[in-house]
Structures are given as structure tokens and as C-alpha cells.
A and B are shown apart, each in its own frame.
Chain A
Amino acid sequence: MDSSSRLLVVVLGILAAGLADATDRTLDAYLNPGCPTTSCTTFGVNPPYANNLVYIRSEVVNVTDAKQYRIFWSTIGAPTFIITEVSPTDPKDIQLAWNDFLEDHTPEGTYFTLYGGRYAGIEFAKLIEYDDVNNTGQITDANDTRLYYLDRNTVHWLNVTLIQEDDGNLLANLTALITQENVQFNLTIQVRAHPGDGRAAQNPRMLFTPSSVNAVHSEDISISDEYSPGIFTVERVGGTDTYVQWRPIVYTKVNPGVSDSTRSHTGPLLPINNTMDWTNHTGWGLPYSLLGGLNGILDNGTTLMRFNVSFGITDDDYYNSTGFQEWSCELGVGQPPIDVVSKNVKLIIAIGFGIPAVLIVIAATYVGYLRYKKRRENRLTLLTETTTTNYQTLTD
């Protein structure tokens, strides 16, 4: 099975706003800040492969007590995305022991320190590809699978492309070539930081606002699929004030319609320990990544869970027929934004029901009046006829 033409796109939204007006929040991005080694810009045997760590300061200007956020997008090892809240009065910057992290890395080491309060992070550790010969959307033969560890040996990341979009969002295109056992395919992760409330421009257009714990996997069903056609459910993994959420849909085409999609399925939440065999990739520990190097990540105060998200359902023919799939999720701290019926829809419904209701009243009144008028005319006619008859009787 030649997979060279395949493309997996993961779209990730990082949420860091909401308490301030969008126009007041600034997003300042830095690439590999403070990195003293050339490993940051050149990595691997074929430049321009690189290590990318995008650091973003999300701040509100001119408001002293507004929340400040720090955002990290890393492709050093397994791709990792972290958002943390920092004190508005003492916002500190990143502290990362670059040399140790990149070169003298040990599994138990801590190289990266977050200051401040709560944080949420997500890491994509591996991809599993299987030949769905029976078109069931499920792995039928565990031996017939390919496992791609998103580590430094398998994945080669290109230099990140950072784009400041018109609406103030900061977009990063993280593109990698995955090579394993003569199979190659492309992985693209598009990640956006949002400066304020709003909604993603692409399907599923998820709502965003800003933003431990026993993480749970939950599903919210809404009556509205206005911004994610065909999908009424939001799946969420999170604690009391951090979350990762997504619509269980996988698009199989760029600019998709409802028919250009299939479903994703989320497996159960499972624990993570630090027993991973780094050489053979056995166990369920944290792989080499920014999250794996985070100071305090294995403390009791942090909840770490792992779960699988599989793409495709029975009879959807989705992967072989398109060679493209796109899945989106969003990560944030605070309460997750929840979709409600939009004001426009409410207005249309009010008008749509209001006009017929008013017309019904008018029609009933008018028809009642016509009947009254007709009855009155009949009575007058009868009266006239009777009077005439009486008159004639008298004259006779």
C-alpha cells in the first residue's frame, strides 16, 4: 500500500481570550526564543527540517488585572500544544533548558518550567494506520496495522510558517514528512491562536472563548449544527476548568460539504505512567516532547490521560477513496464555549411564526365579520319580506 499521496490534517485551535475585548488582546509570537544552539534551525540530515517551538504571549494592554496567557506550539519530539494562564501582575516568560532538552535528553528529565496557574496541554503521540479491507471502520487484524510514532526518528518537520490573519488570529502551519518502512505520507497540523471571542472560519466552525482534576470524556448534544453541518455533538475531555473538545467529524475533502465527511470515534480514557521504553516504544509513558519535559508533569496535582481517536465508520470508504482527512479540536483553559441557536435563527423563527399567527387572527376576525354581515342581511331580507307581506295583507 503506497501511502505517499496521503495527507492528514489536524486543525487545532488554542483559545486564549474572552475576558477582554478582542481588539484589546495582542498576540506576540516568538520562534525558538532563547535557543542557543543551531539544532533549532537545522535538524536532521536534510535541511530545512527543523525543531519548532512557537511561543506566544497573549496579553491585554491597558487593563491591569486582565488575564494573561502563554501558548506553546512545539514539534520537538511528539507535537505538543500547551496553554497556561499567568499572573497579570507578574507575567513571566518561558524558561527552557534548550541544550539539555534537545541534546542530553533523558526520559525522567525536566527541562521546561511553566509559571503561574492552570494549564492545559495536548500531545499527539502516534498514528495508527490499518488496512480496512472489510470497510468496517475498525481494526480487524491487529497484525495488519502500521504504527507511526511521532518521534524525532520518524517525523521530519519543516520550518514552521506563521501567518497573522486578517481577523487577528495567529496561524501556524506545521508540516511533516513521515517516513517508516518505505512508506511516506504528509502530516499537517494547522494551529490557531485566537485573540478574542469568535468562531473558526473552517468547518467545523467551533466556538471559541478563553479559558486539576479528574479528567472525564463527555458528549454534549445540541439542537444546533449551524456551524458544523451534520454534527450535533461535541465531545470533550477535561477537568473543571481545562478542556480539549472537538466535533466527532472527519472531513475527507478541502472545503467539504456534509457528504464529504465521516465520523471520528473516541476510545476510553486511560492512564499514563512513565514506564515507556524509549528504544522500543513500549509502555504508555510520555514520549519525548515538550510535555514530557515539563517540570512537575508527573506530580499528583496534574491529571494525565491518554485516549485514541479513530477516523471512519462502517461502509464509508473514506480513506482509500480520498487519501485526505481533516480532524479538528480545540484546547483551552476555563469553561468550554457552548453553541446555542444564533440570534439570526431566532429572529427568522419569530418572523416566520409571527406573520401566520397575526394572519390567523385577522382571518378569523374578518370571516367572523363576513358571517355576521351575511346573517344580518338575511335577517333584514326576511324582515322586509315579512313586512311587505303584512302590508299587502292589510291593503288586501
Chain B
Amino acid sequence: MLEADSIVNAQRGFLGASTPTMEEEEEDEPLIDVSQEEDEELQGSAGCCYPTGTGYRFAVLVLICLTSLGSYFCYDNPAALQKEIKNDMGVDTTTFMLLYSLYSWPNVVVCFFGGFFIDRFIGVRWGAILFGALLLIGHYIFAVGAFVNEFWVMEAGRFIFGLGGENLQVAVNAYAVNWFKGSQLNLVMGLGLSVSRAGSVFNMNIMEPIYKQLREHYSGHVCLGLTLFIGGITLIFSQYCTFQLAWLDKRAKRILKPKTDLATGEKISFKDIKDFPISLYLLCLICVGFYTAIFPFISLGLVFFESKYELGSGQAQILNSLIYTISAVASPIFGFLIDRTGRNLIWTNAAILLTILGHALTAFTFVNPYVPVCIMGGAYSMLASSMWPMVAMVVKEHQIGTAYGIMQAVQNLGLAVFSIIVGVIVDSDGYLILEVFFLGCLCVALISGILLYIFDAKVDGMLNLSVAQQKLRFDRDKTVEDTKEKEIMT
């Protein structure tokens, strides 16, 4: 349950989406003033300080990744300090798990509205800053709760943390789509997953040593509170990144304003949601089906590996974390490959098929468990890098935040419900039936992927185009837009 929840949100970074509401009225107010002289000086140049330059885009990429780092780090603080929290706060496992439930369940709804809120009202820059601030405040309330030995305060803190967590990822993904759509979006998504995994692993390895170090001077809940205060430093850093990102984005908008001023004039409304293409909902089904077979599997994997393969707890732990470890390395690689080949839908369906193979090997054979786990780790990276960018291909630009929000909401709902169901299945029917259940979920994902393949072919969509074909399509669309723009100007 714990692990599953952590994964639910581990995905946040990628799933979230964002919307290119750079033209929002509020965002026209300068966040940080950039002098007109500087603008003029930069215009026409193509150096590293010019927004379309490699250096500038690289800086944005780094900031996008770092913005989510703190969120992932602090999200799993309770898991890293599970024993300490239970001992120092005197709570049992069920009460402890509330710290995750209070994050997850509200997000079934909240991230949908968060995406819409960003699309419709505040835009991506203020969205990132606002939701980042909620994370920061929520985490420090959580830490204060521990410090003063009040568990309900900790719970309140986690709830506020959850209000920001998912939505920050929506904003971060909005930045990613705004800056990298049509070029290296798959790679950026892959890198985001990689950094988030690194944040989780970093947290798991560092928080307990910090606690132990502090315990030499402090004890009990005070020590716990101070440890959480220190963990919150990553969020302060991430919040700084949201300001930096906003500044770079604002500056880019100013410099590039003449070229983009008329590009987006539409705003999303609730009516638009009913007109979302069926492709989006098929993507939601893929998302739920696939992640149900990954995250709950990891959360229950430790005992499974110990039972079926008779591994020691240390080795089972290594095996169980291997999917994440592989994803931290493989996601950018797959992102890069998908950027070179296109055909995201084929990659996604291949990832589902590979995961089916991995689970089938785990369920019906005694093949060395490292084989199926490595297959699943690779497939997980492949899917994360290929599926999330497809959302940006099936909805209009001003709907991207809401679309990602819907997808995340459905994913959160699916994982929250299925995490409970898989626990019941294991207790009553064992791991073989659980594996069969996972295979069933993957079959649903595969069926959705195949239907999406048919649908995309029928409507002449972009999901399965090669890079060259995508470029032709972008150029064609741009020509149409330019023509419209000229007509309006005339």
C-alpha cells in the first residue's frame, strides 16, 4: 500500500500536464522585470541566452527536472522514516498509512481541477509557484506536527502537501510541453522520470541516517521533527527553481512575443471536456491498466520474492527496487530513442506486451526473477517515455493541463482502488491469482492500445507517425496557423 501510493505519485511528474497559457492576463504582469534594452539586445541573436538557443533550453530542462525533485523526495519521507514515525508518534501501521491515504484520495479529484485551474485561470508560471508553495507549507506543517508530537497536525500537513503535489506536476509537465513539444518531449519526459526516481532513492537512503545522526543530540518526536525540517530543504530548493523557471519562461515570452502573440487565444471551458477525443480516454485506460500491474506489484513484491524464490530479505529488497533503478537509467535512453523514431503508440504497445511477458514469466515459471524484473523495468521506462507525450498530441494546446489532470485523476483513482483490491486478492487467493489479475489489467491496457491504434489510423492521427511524418504534420499545421494569423492581421 505504501509503496503503491508512493508510486502513484511517483508518476506525478510525468503525467501532469500543462498548459501553454503563457498569454494569460495575469502572466503578463512581470514576475521579474527584464529590461527592454536587454530584450532588444538579445533579439535577433541566437546565443545561449536566446530562448531558442540550446543553452537556454537546457537550463529550462534542468529547472523542470529539479522543480519536481523536492516533491518526490518529501513525498516518500514517511516511508523512509516509517519505523521512526510509528515509534516516536506511537501510531500503528493503519494510522501511519493515513499519511499516504490523505495524500492520494483527495488527488483523485484535486488534480483534475488543478489542471483546469491552470488552463483556465492562473497559467503555468503562477501555477507552479502556487502549488510548489502548497507543498512547502504542507511539508513544514507535517514537520511541526512531529516536532510538537501532534499526529493530527502531521496528517493536516500531508493533506496540504497533497493539494500541491499532483498539481505541481501538472504545471511542470505544462512547462515541458510548452518548451519541448515537437522536439525532445519524449526525452524530457524520460529525464523527468529519471530525476524523480533519483529523488525517491535519495530520500530512502538519506533520511534515516540523518535521523540517526540527530538522535545523538535529540530524542523521540523532536528528533523526528528536526529530521523532517532538514528534508524540507529540498522543497525550498525546488521552490527556488519554480521562480527561476518562471523568470526564464517570462523572459522567453517577452523576447519571442511577436512570433507567438497570436498563437493561442483560446481558453478551456468545462464544455470542452465532453469534446475530448476518445483517444484521451483510451490513454487513461492504458495508464490505469499498466500502472496497476507495476506499482501494486512493487508494493507487494518483497514478500512475493521471498516466498516464491526463497530469497533473503536483502536480496528481495534489491530485486524489488530494481524496476525503479532501471527506470532511473533507462527512461532518458528510451526518451531519446523515441524522439529519434517517433511512433509512440508502437512503443507503448510494445511496453505493454513486454510487461505481459514479464508478469507471465513471474507467474508461470521459475525463471531467475531478475529476468522478468529487468524486462518490466525496461518496459516501464519505455511506456513512461512514450505514453505521456501522446496526451499532447490528442488535445489542443489550451486543453493540455486539463487533459493531463483527467488522466492523473483516473490514474489515482485506479491505483487507489486497485491497491485495496490486490491486498484482498493476495490474502484470499495468493500471488498466482494476483499475477493473473495483473495480466488481466495488462490485457485491458493492450486492448485499449490496439483500439487506440485502430482509432488513430482511422482519424489519420499523429500517434503512430514516424519523426519525419510528424515533422511534415507540424509544418503543415504551422502553415495553416500562419495563414490564419495573416488573415486575422489583414
Contact = CB atoms under 8 A, between A and B. Distances in A.
B97 interface: no
Nearest to B308: A232
Contacts of A232: 307-308, 431
Interface in B420-447: 426-433, 436, 439-440, 443, 446-447
Interface stretch (A283-291, A295-303, A346-354): A346-354
B370 interface: no
Contact of A230 (B430, B440, B450): B430
A227 B431 CA distance: 10
B307 A230 contact: yes
A367 B443 contact: no
A224 B363 CA distance: 8
Contacts of B454: 363, 366-367
18 contacts: A221-B366, A223-B363, A224-B430, A224-B432, A225-B430, A225-B431, A229-B430, A229-B431, A233-B310, A258-B430, A259-B427, A345-B432, A355-B447, A356-B446, A356-B447, A363-B450, A366-B457, A370-B457
Nearest to B456: A367
B246 to A, nearest CB: 44
A241 interface: no
B430 A345 contact: no
Interface in B428-479: 428-433, 436, 439-440, 443, 446-447, 450-451, 453-454, 457-458
A67 B363 CA distance: 38
A212 interface: no
A370 B430 CA distance: 45
Contacts of A341: 364, 432
B245 to A, nearest CB: 41
Given A223-B366, A232-B308, A367-B457, A352 B431 contact: no
B430 A226 contact: yes
Given A259-B427, A349-B436, A230 B303 contact: yes
B431 A230 contact: yes
A259 B433 CA distance: 17
A229 B365 CA distance: 17
Contacts of B303: 230, 258
A228 interface: yes
A370 B429 CA distance: 45
A227 B430 contact: yes
A348 B440 contact: yes
A1 interface: no
Nearest to B443: A352
Contact of A363 (B310, B433, B439, B453): B453
Interface residues of A, number: 30
Closest 10 CB pairs of A and B: A257-B427, A229-B430, A225-B430, A367-B457, A356-B446, A352-B443, A359-B450, A363-B450, A224-B432, A232-B308
Contacts of B457: 366-367, 370-371
Given A229-B426, A229-B430, A359-B447, 12 more contacts: A224-B430, A226-B429, A226-B430, A226-B432, A230-B431, A232-B308, A258-B303, A258-B426, A258-B430, A363-B451, A363-B453, A370-B457
A19 B396 CA distance: 70
Interface string A352-396: 110110011001001100110000000000000000000000000
A231 interface: yes
A224 B430 CA distance: 8
Interface of B: 303, 307-308, 310, 363-366, 426-433, 436, 439-440, 443, 446-447, 450-451, 453-454, 457-458
Interface of A: 221, 223-233, 257-259, 341, 345, 348-349, 352-353, 355-356, 359-360, 363, 366-367, 370-371
Nearest to B426: A258
B439 A349 contact: yes
Contact of B432 (A223, A363, A367): A223
Nearest to A204: B430
Contacts of B427: 229, 257-259
A367 B456 CA distance: 9
Contacts of B426: 229-230, 257-258
Nearest to B364: A223
B304 to A, nearest CB: 8
B421 to A, nearest CB: 14
Nearest to B423: A257
Contacts of A370: 457-458
B434 to A, nearest CB: 9
A201 to B, nearest CB: 13
B334 to A, nearest CB: 22
A196 B450 CA distance: 47
A181 to B, nearest CB: 35
Contact of B429 (A229, A231, A359, A363): A229
Contacts of B310: 233
A257 B428 CA distance: 7
Most buried by B among A229, A345, A366: A229
A356 B429 CA distance: 25
A231 to B, nearest CB: 7
Contacts of B446: 356, 359
A348 B453 CA distance: 25
Given A223-B366, A360-B450, A370-B458, A355 B432 contact: no
Contacts of A224: 430, 432
A18 B307 CA distance: 30
A231 B309 CA distance: 10
A224 B303 CA distance: 15
A232 B365 CA distance: 12
B443 A353 contact: yes
Contacts of A226: 429-430, 432-433
A228 B430 contact: yes
Contacts of A228: 430
B308 to A, nearest CB: 5
B440 to A, nearest CB: 5
A221 B365 CA distance: 11
B463 to A, nearest CB: 12
A324 to B, nearest CB: 17
Contacts of B429: 226, 229
A345 B439 contact: no
A356 B444 CA distance: 8
A371 B378 CA distance: 31
B200 to A, nearest CB: 24
Contacts of B366: 221, 223
Contacts of B430: 224-231, 258
B135 to A, nearest CB: 32
A367 B432 CA distance: 36
Contacts of A230: 303, 307, 426, 430-431
A367 B450 CA distance: 11
Contacts of B432: 223-226, 341, 345
A359 B364 CA distance: 24
A228 B428 CA distance: 9
Nearest to B304: A230
A349 B364 CA distance: 11
B260 to A, nearest CB: 34
Contacts of B431: 225, 229-230, 232
A259 to B, nearest CB: 7
Contacts of B450: 356, 359-360, 363
Contact of A231 (B307, B363, B365, B443): B307
A230 B300 CA distance: 11
Contacts of B443: 352-353, 355-356
Nearest to A349: B436
Most buried by A among B364, B450, B453, B454: B450
A345 B433 contact: yes
B307 A225 contact: yes
Nearest to B362: A223
A232 B307 CA distance: 7
A223 B440 CA distance: 18
Contacts of A355: 443, 447
B365 A345 contact: no
